[in-house]
């Protein structure tokens, strides 16, 4: 039997869905044995969501993230650094300077995102 491209894609999607379900079951079982598991999962989920958003994301446990970085205070420095880098077309992390670690981190996040976009 000859598989078409669509058939192969559908088969891969079904395989990945089955693997994801098996992984979810494994994680649930691990969480039953480890009381800190739920918090780690929530933090990881917030971190992952923050990579996709351009606004700060707060986890269920109060940790704030911006573009995959843990924020200090309200993420204002990270956001300002990211926006500054965008407005000034910063394309090299060495050009990310300032008086605030969070501002510099935001600028560096922008440069990383810019480089990742150019690879796509």
Split the chain (120 residues) into runs of 10 and give each run's mean pLDDT.
51 62 72 81 89 92 94 92 96 94 96 87
* pLDDT in the model for residue 58: 94
Distance, in Å, from the CA atom of 65 to the CA atom of 105, rounded to the nearest integer, reads: 12
Distance, in Å, from the CA atom of 105 to the CA atom of 109, rounded to the nearest integer, reads: 6
CA quadruple 33, 23, 61, 73: dihedral positive or negative?
Answer: positive
Q: Give the three-state DSSP class for 72.
A: coil
Domain count, the chain: 1
Task: Residue 98: give the domain boundaries.
Answer: 34-119
Domain assignment of residue 13, yes or no: no
Domain assignment of residue 115, yes or no: yes
pTM for this prediction: 0.69
């Amino acid at each position: 039997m000859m598989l078409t491209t669509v058939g192969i894609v559908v088969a891969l999607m079904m395989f990945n869905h089955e693997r994801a379900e098996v992984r979810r079951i494994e994680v649930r079982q691990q969480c039953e044995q480890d009381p800190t598991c739920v918090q780690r999962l929530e933090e990881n989920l917030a971190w992952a969501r923050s990579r996709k958003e351009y606004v700060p994301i707060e986890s269920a446990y109060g940790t704030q993230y911006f573009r995959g970085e843990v924020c200090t205070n309200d993420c204002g420095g990270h956001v300002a650094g990211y926006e500054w880098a965008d407005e000034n077309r910063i394309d090299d992390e060495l050009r990310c300077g300032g008086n605030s670690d969070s501002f510099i981190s935001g600028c560096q996040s922008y440069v990383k995102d810019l480089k990742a976009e150019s690879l796509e």
